[in-house]
């Protein structure tokens, strides 16, 4: 056979490969199994339907697809190919985009703090600051989780999305400052949650590219998973006839053109619908499906499936307060890399670089008003007008004013809780949520103690090169609360107490959680109490935020519960086949 034959074969193969790649790229640059919901069937059937392709939903779906057919319904689009999401240095670009198609949906809690929730495949891991760290063994014990499976699940996640950061001068200064003032020991680089100071992991790789929970879908069985994008679930359907209690059996969702679709569970007593729509989305969707406080549902004309007063209760957001420290020398761009884990319930972290302070017009810092962070006016005064004004004055200030970084303090827990209510019956609209920051005096005390650690770090020898020598703490505090972004004299009281500083400058670190607590709305297996074939698996089930930052544990939980569900079914089907055999034998005799 001549060479031409091989050349021809090669050409044909190359043609096939490139044309199939072309097909795939019409849907998603990364996965063939994602498609626009507009092209979905009007009615379809699966073993598992997962609502929300977020931080918990993606690892959960990938795992269940090993053995079963899985449908993921995600209201947002794909993160791939969008530099606002994938690029570390554009952190905040998505958060500052308030259009209806933005991957970030802004919301303002009733407390007045501006916040954001994900609307994209990969969920919060596509918007977040990337810091990756496990929770403590004590948290694992209290959650009643199996420690070995927890560790295996963390490893499964870390293999794909976690990296060691490149720690440079400014972050090293923060770390050494923490060590100098006694946040000890030095735990080096570790994912583990231990008292002292450490460098944690990050989901940004060494090129500054983000690896979100959507990357965990590479573990999925591509022949048994379907991911629909721009698919907003409106409600879960329940069967009530011929069953002892309501049984979830399908969902109604709409595509981007508003067309209605239905997906049902295939027959099989073990098949389930799993809600992973996040701390705002999950309680909201349960309510829209008739599971919630009866009076509240009635007020919105929602047919009651189950009167469940706990749905939407126990909403919490960890308060974050920060001090901005202008630097006489340039500061590298960094999101969170170092954390001080104190033994009094306060975590110290930092983000540095001009653009993260909000100084660049193209970039959007972690504490910039462009993304809704407005520490310069008390929460209730953070109106759109105040925000626009802050952005305007920020843009008029000399850029060198933003050289430096923020050292922040986050309160553990928190103990203070609030609640969530529907505003309307439209799932696209944010529900009303109240977090009651600092309602519990312990939260306030931890904030004050945390801030005094921050101040000590700023005054440490190790950090001294990143601080102007003639700028005492009182001026820095004032700077954070009053300037440079908002030059109005808000805090003329020069002896502004730390308590007042905590309340006036409170921001979110976006670790909000709750609304479907374990023991209240779901049982320890995350099954919704009082109905069948329905679970909630995501951050809405947490009483307290896990670790110093939650994403590692949310992803872990998705994997963990996926494995548990697969194992349970394996055991159940083994028992069934054993039963079958015994009954056959019994029939013989
Ligand atoms: C800006 C920011 C910075 C953060 N920084 C860090 C950090 O550095 N480190 C860290 O550990 N954590 C960080 N976090 C927190 C962490 O990312 C979140 O706690 C976590 O991602 C929440 O996961 P979840 O699965 O509970 O919800 P999500 O990841 O939000 O998943 C919910 C998904 O459900 C979808 N959904 C909701 N309703 C519907 C519906 N009706 N139909 C279809 N789909 C629906 C949403 O679009 C979303 O994709 C940060 C968060 C943010 C926003
Ligand atoms: C999917 O639908 C959305 C919303 O209509 C649209 O913006 C997007 O371009 C569509 N993507 C593809 C690949 O068709
Ligand atoms: C990420 O952003 C930086 C700074 O804006 C830019 O130099 C770089 O090219 C971007 N990378 C990608 C892949 O877009
Ligand atoms: C990126 O963010 C900017 C600023 O928020 C926004 O204007 C732009 O449309 C976004 N681009 C994409 C692809 O989402
Ligand atoms: C899980 O790993 C942590 C360290 O990350 C360790 O402290 C703990 O003992 C491990 N648990 C089990 C059950 O192996
Ligand atoms: C704080 O700022 C205000 C307004 O700029 C100013 O009047 C006040 O004197 C400052 N206090 C301190 C301690 O710097
Ligand atoms: C200034 O703050 C201190 C400490 O919080 C407080 O005791 C004092 O009453 C305040 N003064 C004014 C004028 O508000």
> For residue 501, which ligand has an atom nearest its CA?
7
> pLDDT band at residue 213, thresholds of 50, 70 and 90?
very high
Eight-class DSSP state of 248 = E
Q: Which pLDDT score, from 0 to 100, does residue 364 have?
A: 58
110 is in an annotated binding site: no
Structural tokens at position 421: 């209510």
- Which one, of 410, 409, 402, lies nearest residue 325 by Cα? 402
What's the 288 CA to ligand 2 centre distance in angstroms? 26
- Which one, of 114, 217, 237, 231, lies nearest residue 160 by Cα? 217
Q: Which pLDDT score, from 0 to 100, does residue 481 have?
A: 65
Res 399 pLDDT > 80: no
Q: Which of 23-32, 143-152, 370-379, 557-566 has the lowest mean pLDDT?
A: 23-32
Superfamily of domain 31-79+120-161+208-316+512-589: FAD/NAD(P)-binding domain (3.50.50.60)
511 is in an annotated binding site: yes
> pLDDT band at residue 90, thresholds of 50, 70 and 90?
confident
Residue range 40-60: mean pLDDT, rounded: 98
Q: Which pLDDT score, from 0 to 100, does residue 487 have?
A: 28
Q: Which pLDDT score, from 0 to 100, does residue 588 have?
A: 43
CB atoms inside a 10 Å sphere around CB 484:
20
Residue range 267-291: mean pLDDT, rounded: 97
Residue range 105-133: mean pLDDT, rounded: 98
- Which one, of 48, 87, 375, lies nearest residue 209 by Cα? 87
Residue range 535-548: mean pLDDT, rounded: 98
Residue range 183-195: mean pLDDT, rounded: 98
What's the 36 CA to ligand 2 centre distance in angstroms? 6
What pTM was estimated for this model as a whole? 0.91
Query: Are 406 and 92 in contact, with CB atoms under 8 Å apart?
Result: no
Backbone angles phi, psi at 346, to 5 degrees: -140, 140
Residues in the chain: 589
Q: Which of 10-19, 98-107, 299-308, 459-468 has the lowest mean pLDDT?
A: 10-19
The backbone region for 436, taken as left when phi is positive above 0, alpha when psi lies in -120 to 50, beta otherwise, is left
pLDDT digits (tens, 9 = 90+) for 450-505: 999 999 999 999 999 999 888 888 778 777 765 543 322 344 454 578 898 899 99
Residue range 547-551: mean pLDDT, rounded: 98
Residue range 248-255: mean pLDDT, rounded: 98
> pLDDT band at residue 544, thresholds of 50, 70 and 90?
very high
227 is in an annotated binding site: no
233 is in an annotated binding site: yes
Percent pLDDT > 90 in the chain is 75
Ligand 5 in reach of 147 Cβ (< 6 A)? yes
| Correct CATH for 166-199+318-413+438-508 of 3.40.50.10160, 3.30.410.40, 3.90.1150.10, 3.90.1720.10 | 3.30.410.40
Ligand 5 in reach of 151 Cβ (< 6 A)? yes
Question: Which residues does a 6 A CB cutoff place in the pocket of ligand 7?
Answer: 493, 495, 497, 500
Q: Which pLDDT score, from 0 to 100, does residue 483 have?
A: 53
Structural tokens at position 366: 């972690």
Question: Which residues does a 6 A CB cutoff place in the pocket of ligand 2?
Answer: 26-27, 36, 38, 230, 256
> pLDDT band at residue 1, thresholds of 50, 70 and 90?
very low
Percent pLDDT > 70 in the chain is 89
| Cα of 12 vs its chain's centroid, Å | 45
Active-site positions read 511
| Minimum CA distance residue for ligand 7 atom 10 | 493
What is the spatial distance between Cα 199 and Cα 206, in angstroms, rounded to a whole number? 15
| Minimum CA distance residue for ligand 2 atom 1 | 36
| Minimum CA distance residue for ligand 4 atom 6 | 97
Structural domain spans, the chain:
31-79+120-161+208-316+512-589, 166-199+318-413+438-508
Q: Which pLDDT score, from 0 to 100, does residue 30 have?
A: 86
Q: Which pLDDT score, from 0 to 100, does residue 15 have?
A: 44
Residue range 96-124: mean pLDDT, rounded: 97
Q: Which of 37-46, 263-272, 462-471 has the lowest mean pLDDT?
A: 462-471
pLDDT digits (tens, 9 = 90+) for 139-161: 999 999 999 999 999 999 999 99
Q: Which pLDDT score, from 0 to 100, does residue 89 have?
A: 84
Ligand 3 in reach of 82 Cβ (< 6 A)? no
pLDDT digits (tens, 9 = 90+) for 502-533: 999 999 999 999 999 999 999 999 999 999 99
In sequence order, the β-bridge partners of residue 467 are none
**Distance set, CA 143 to CA 131, 136, 165, 415 (Å):** 22, 11, 29, 17
């Amino acid at each position: 056979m001549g060479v031409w034959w091989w050349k021809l074969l090669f050409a044909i193969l190359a043609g096939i490969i490139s044309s199939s790649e072309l097909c795939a790229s019409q849907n998603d640059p990364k996965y063939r199994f994602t498609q626009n919901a507009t092209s979905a069937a009007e009615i379809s059937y699966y073993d598992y339907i997962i609502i929300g392709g977020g931080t918990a939903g993606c690892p959960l779906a990938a795992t269940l697809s090993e053995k079963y057919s899985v449908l993921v319904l995600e209201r947002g689009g794909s993160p791939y190919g969008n530099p606002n999401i994938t690029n570390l240095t554009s952190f905040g670009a998505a958060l500052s985009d308030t259009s209806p198609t933005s991957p970030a949906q802004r919301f303002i809690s009733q407390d007045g703090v501006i916040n954001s929730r994900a609307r994209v495949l990969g969920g919060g891991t596509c918007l977040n600051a990337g810091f990756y760290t496990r929770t403590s063994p004590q948290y694992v014990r209290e959650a009643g989780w199996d420690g070995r499976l927890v560790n295996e699940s963390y490893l499964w996640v870390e293999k794909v999305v976690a990296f060691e950061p490149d720690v440079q001068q400014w972050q090293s200064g923060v770390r050494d400052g923490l060590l100098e003032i006694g946040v000890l020991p030095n735990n080096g680089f570790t994912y583990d949650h231990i008292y002292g100071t450490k460098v944690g992991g990050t989901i940004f790789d060494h090129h500054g590219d983000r690896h979100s929970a959507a990357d965990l879908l590479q573990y999925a069985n591509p022949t048994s998973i379907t991911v629909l994008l721009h698919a907003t679930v409106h409600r879960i359907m329940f069967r009530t006839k011929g069953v002892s209690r309501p049984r979830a059996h399908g969902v109604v969702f709409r595509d981007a053109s508003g067309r209605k679709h239905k997906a049902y569970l295939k027959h099989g007593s073990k098949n389930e619908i799993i809600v992973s729509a996040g701390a705002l989305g999950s309680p909201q969707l349960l309510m829209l499906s008739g599971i919630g406080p009866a009076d509240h549902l009635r007020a919105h004309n929602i047919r009651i499936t189950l009167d469940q007063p706990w749905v939407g209760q126990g909403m919490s957001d960890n308060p974050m307060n920060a001090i901005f420290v202008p630097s006489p020398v340039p500061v590298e761009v960094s999101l969170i890399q170092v954390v001080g884990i104190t033994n009094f319930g306060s975590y110290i972290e930092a983000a540095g670089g001009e653009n993260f302070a909000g100084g660049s017009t193209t970039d959007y810092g972690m504490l910039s008003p462009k993304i809704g962070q407005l520490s310069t006016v008390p929460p209730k005064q953070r109106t759109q007008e105040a925000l626009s004004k802050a952005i305007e004055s920020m843009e008029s200030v000399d850029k060198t004013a933003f050289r430096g970084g923020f050292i922040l303090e986050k309160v553990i827990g928190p103990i203070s809780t609030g609640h969530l209510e529907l505003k309307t019956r439209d799932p696209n609209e944010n529900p009303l949520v109240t977090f009651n920051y600092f309602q519990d005096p312990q939260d306030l005390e931890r904030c004050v103690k945390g801030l005094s650690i921050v101040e000590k770090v700023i005054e440490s020898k190790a950090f001294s090169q990143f601080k102007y020598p003639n700028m005492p703490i009182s001026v820095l505090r004032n700077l954070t609360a009053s300037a440079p972004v908002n030059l109005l004299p808000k805090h003329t009281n020069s002896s502004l107490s730390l308590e007042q500083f905590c309340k006036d400058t409170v921001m979110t670190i976006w670790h909000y959680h709750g609304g479907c607590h374990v023991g209240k709305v779901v049982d320890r297996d995350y099954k919704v109490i009082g109905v069948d074939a329905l679970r909630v698996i995501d951050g809405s089930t947490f009483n307290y935020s896990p670790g110093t930052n939650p994403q590692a544990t949310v992803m872990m939980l998705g994997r963990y519960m996926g494995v548990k569900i697969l194992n349970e079914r394996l055991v159940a089907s083994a028992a069934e086949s054993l039963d079958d055999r015994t009954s056959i034998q019994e029939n013989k005799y």
